[in-house]
């Protein structure tokens, strides 16, 4: 049962990377990553997920993104969002790919 969860984690990390790449388009890749993270967090007890804290970071980043879009207009806030999003996406992708190899 570990492989389907790793696929969900891989899809979550991929959605975060797509959010960075296609940032100017109005496709909600980060929202898709949040939905996948919520599913993974709900199933954490039953499926023994490793490194669950990164999915909480995805939720935090989404709230931060909404705050940046609605309240903060500084460019450095957007750079912080992009850097954190890239870091979390890479870590989730590396954790999910480790089980495939």
**What is the residue extent of each domain of the chain?**
2-100
Residue 99: per-residue pLDDT: 57
Residue-wise pLDDT tens digits, 17-60 = 888 888 777 778 888 888 888 888 888 777 666 677 777 888 88
The alpha-helical segments, DSSP class H, found in the chain are 2-21, 29-42, 44-47, 53-70, 75-100
pLDDT computed for residue 2 by the predictor: 58
């Amino acid at each position: 049962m570990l492989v389907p969860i790793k696929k969900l984690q891989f899809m979550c990390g991929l959605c975060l990377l797509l959010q960075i790449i296609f940032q100017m388009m109005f496709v909600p890749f980060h929202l898709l990553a949040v939905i996948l993270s919520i599913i993974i967090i709900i199933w954490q007890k039953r499926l023994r997920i490793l490194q669950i804290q990164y999915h909480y970071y995805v939720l935090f980043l989404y709230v931060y993104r909404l705050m940046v879009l609605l309240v903060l207009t500084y460019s450095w806030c957007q750079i912080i969002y992009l850097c954190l999003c890239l870091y979390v996406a890479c870590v989730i992708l590396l954790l999910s790919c480790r089980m495939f190899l």
